[in-house]
Structure 1
């Protein structure tokens, strides 16, 4: 079984498997890139902080 026979019989699997591998590798590279990382100041505040701020605003309005 030579390379020609393997290529002829499994061409679709070889091409699709390679393409799928390259897509996943590219996705990993994009996800790990610092350009696409969420900065801490851009993140959503934690619920406890939001509740504390809302409670504090409510207390300030009552005064």
Structure 2
């Protein structure tokens, strides 16, 4: 089998496999990059969420 025959017969698999590999490699690169990591010590909850949680806690305590 020559490279021309392999390319002709398996073009879709080669292109899609390479594309899928590059997408996964990019995703792993982004996930491992320190720029995109959330710092948990500086995360502040939104006031709306805090007030909702406090209200639901009070409702459960009253029951």
Task: State TM-score, norm by structure 2.
Answer: 0.65
User: What number of residue pairs does the alignment pair up?
Assistant: 46
List aligned pairs for 1:35-50, cutoff 5 A. 35-43=35-43
Deviations 1:10-40 (A, max 9, x none): 0000000000000000000000000111113
Q: Report how far residue 43 of structure 1 moved.
A: 4.2
Unmatched runs of 5 consecutive residues or more in structure 2: 46-53, 55-63
Task: Report what 2:20 is aligned to.
Answer: 20
Unmatched runs of 5 consecutive residues or more in structure 1: 46-53, 55-63
Q: Report how far residue 44 of structure 1 moved.
A: 6.9
* Superposition RMSD in Å: 1.8
Detail structure 1 runs of 4+ shifted over 6 Å in the superposition: none
Task: State TM-score, norm by structure 1.
Answer: 0.65
